[in-house]
């Protein structure tokens, strides 16, 4: 929700990115993130969650193993519990994995036809 400090928001961005580097082995420089804030009246969540409830949606290249995904989920929760202090029960993570041919990268080429500079099948 809105009204969080810049430090709080940066901790979320850094925590998610760090987890992606750890679990999916993406390069540290590969940061492409957005943080959406909503007014309280535009955000509904279960009574079992606190006002720190955070929904994390990641759109990533398809191809990571279940083990890498498990590591990602646990690393995100660990990082956000440590800073900015969001309880694990207040974090939901959704992974979207469009096929690589559905990504236009590096001058408009399908991602499956270019060297990305890192492995996807981790």
E strands, the chain, in order:
54-59, 91-96, 104-105, 109-110
Tens digits of residue pLDDT in 73-83: 999 999 999 99
Tens digits of residue pLDDT in 7-50: 999 999 999 999 999 999 999 999 999 999 999 899 898 899 99
* Phi, psi for 11 (deg, rounded to 5): -65, -40
Does residue 1 carry a pLDDT above 90? no
The CATH number of the domain covering residues in 6-113: 3.30.429.10
In the numeric block, which tokens belong to residue 73? 């989920």
In the chain, what are the domain boundaries?
A: 6-113
Q: Where are the alpha helices (DSSP H) in the chain?
A: 6-24, 66-82
């Amino acid at each position: 929700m809105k009204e969080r400090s810049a430090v709080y928001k940066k901790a979320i961005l850094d925590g998610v990115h760090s987890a992606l580097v750890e679990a999916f082995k993406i390069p540290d420089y590969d940061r492409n993130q957005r943080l959406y804030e909503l007014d309280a009246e535009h955000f509904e969540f279960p009574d079992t969650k606190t006002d720190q409830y955070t929904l994390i949606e990641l759109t990533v290249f398809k191809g990571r193993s279940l083990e890498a995904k498990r590591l990602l989920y646990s690393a995100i929760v660990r990082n956000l519990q440590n800073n900015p202090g969001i309880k694990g029960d207040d974090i939901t993570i959704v992974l979207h994995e469009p096929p690589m041919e559905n990504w236009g990268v590096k001058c408009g080429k399908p991602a499956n036809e270019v060297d990305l500079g890192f492995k996807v099948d981790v």
